[in-house]
Structure 1
Amino acid sequence: MTEESDQSAQSRRAQLIEASIQLLEEVGPEALRARTVATKIGASTMAVYSHFGGMNELLEAVAAEAFTRFGAVLAVPDTDDPVADFFVAGDAYCTYALDNPQRYRLMFGLVSPQTTRPAARSLSAPRAPVETAADTTAFNQMMHVVERMVAAGRIRADPIADIAGRLWSLVHGVVLLEMTGYLGQEGHAVTNVLGPATMDLLVGMGDERARLEQSRVRAAERLAAGAS
């Protein structure tokens, strides 16, 4: 394959992924069929099979791209207050998930059987230090800020992946309950449930509530200013 044809193939793959993401959010997972996706970019159904091998592989690529974008929004700049950084990243997490609910469900395999992703490996299990999977990259963003909170003496030094797993589970659970309406769909769950629960968890892990409140205020000021 020549360099030009390789670039063309990569471009067509990117178009199919982007078309799938748009259809997913506009219509829902039922729209993710080879013919529908191909038609959206003006191609034949064969394009899906030529560039991905089939719909399962395309959906894996869509989920990976969604996780890549997810990881990017979680990568907030480090400041001298790692807990404030965590709160800013948490806001980015919730915003991404609630603004892109169908995409978020696909990322975690929470769609119809035809589009369910295979069970992922345990992100908190021991693994090689170099991992490039998109979902691992997103989890590493969480571990990075947790490691900084531990290093700053804000919370006790439990295994970093375990702490990240606890925090991710809390955020993920509240987000899904809000998506499905069990905690309402007015955006109050983040303020009335997730925020207080996170504060309680971090206090239980050793931080001081007054200090946490200072970090929360700093994070709120950054978010109000429109800067992460």
Structure 2
Amino acid sequence: MSPRRVDPQARSLLVDIAARLLAEEGPQALSARRVATEAGSSTMPLYTHFGGMSGLVREIVHEGFARMQAHFDLVRKSADPVADMALFGRAYRHNARTNPHLYSVMFGGSSLAGFSLSEEDRQHGRYTLTHVVECASRCIEAGRFATTDAELTAHHMWAATHGLVILELGEYLIPPYDAGHCFETQLVGLMVGAGDSPEAAARSVALSRLRQDEELAGVPAPHPEAVPG
């Protein structure tokens, strides 16, 4: 009898299920049997695709950053680099809101207790900042940002946006200082903090908002949580 073929979508679906279990119930919920049960499958795909649970946890992190990269790749380079930078912030937030379970565990910490990430794994995540660094360089070259350190500027953008997204996913931000309001004003503040004028920053952020629906519409939706097999 020939070996049973595993659905090619199973890998991504198992990652989504494992991420949800980690985010909602913690590492104690993550076992091969529990993931397989949630997936409606045998445990075989876990070992076929990931070599075990440690490999599955590592793949959650890699998949999380891959989806973030997919969002960043949709941001088109325009004549307004500050609008492009703001749109990277929108792409980052959109990714987190679209993949909340992946996002909540992809940076490690207590949710990965018992499963360790290597420096190589973390470097895999840092690599996604390449587009943002390049955009910061363009903002500097255009005279919009006063800073001369594009990489530091990109890290500031990352840290600030990440902080807001974590609060948003935790449902800490409520009216009148809800996530949408805070995010829009934060984007302007970040651009001004990097050296842009308040008026120019506000115009570019407004432009990025108009571009968002068109440019970020091509990101595939997450898989439903069902795995044949």
Partner Cα separation in structure 2 for residue 103 and residue 29 of structure 1: 13
Unpaired runs of 5+ residues, structure 2, are 217-229
Q: CA deviation at 1:64?
A: 0.4
3-state DSSP of counterpart to 1:91: helix
Equivalent of 2:186 in 197, 203, 206? 197
Check the 8 A contact 2:58/2:117 in 1, yes or no.
no
In structure 2, the CA distance between the partners of 1:82 and 1:35, relative to structure 1 (3 Å rule), is: same
Aligned to 1:24: 19
- Aligned counterpart for 2:128 among listed residues 138, 141, 145: 138
Q: Work out the number of aligned pairs and report it.
A: 210
Report the Cα distance in structure 2 between the residues aligned to 1:141 and 1:50, rounded to whole angstroms.
Answer: 33
Q: Contact 1:66/1:107 (CA < 8 Å) preserved in 2?
A: yes
- Equivalent in the alignment of 1:104: 103
Give % identity.
Answer: 29
| TM-score for both structures, normalised by structure 1 | 0.76
Question: What amino acid is aligned across from residue 154 of structure 1 in structure 2?
Answer: R
Check 1:190–1:117 CA distance in 2 against 1; reply closer, same or farther (3 A cut).
farther
Q: Evaluate the alpha carbon distance shift between residue 41 and residue 182 of structure 1 in structure 2; reply closer, same or farther with a 3 A threshold.
A: closer
**Structure 2 counterpart of 1:84:** 83
Shift of 1:141: 2.1
Shift of 1:69: 1.0
Query: Which residue of structure 1 aligns with residue 68 of structure 2?
Result: 70
Q: Distance in 2 between matches of 1:115 and 1:67?
A: 21
- The aligned amino acid for 2:140 is V
- Unaligned runs of 5+ residues in structure 1 are 124-130
Once the two structures are TM-superposed, the CA of residue 32 in structure 1 deviates from its matched residue by: 3.6
Q: CA RMSD in A?
A: 3.2
Instruction: Tell me, yes or no, if the aligned pair for 2:10 and 2:45 is still in contact at 8 Å.
Output: no
1:172 Cα deviation from its structure 2 partner: 0.4
Q: In structure 1, what is the equivalent of residue 219 of structure 2? A: none
1:59 and 1:122, CA in 2 relative to 1: closer, same or farther beyond 3 A?
A: closer
Question: CA, structure 1 residues 142+29, in 2 after alignment: closer, same or farther (shift >3 Å)?
Answer: farther
Corresponding residue for residue 224 of structure 2:
none
* Bigger RCO (CA 8 Å, 6+ sep): 2
* 1:47 Cα offset (Å): 3.8
What SS class does the counterpart of residue 215 from structure 2 fall into? coil
2:53 to 52, 55, 63: 55
Q: Distance in 1 between matches of 2:135 and 2:107?
A: 22
1:152 equivalent in structure 2: 142
Counterparts of 1:34 and 1:187 in 2: how far apart (Å)?
42
Name the residue aligned to 2:156. Answer: 166
In the alignment, the residues of structure 2 paired with residue 98 and residue 200 of structure 1 have an alpha-carbon distance, to the nearest angstrom, of 22
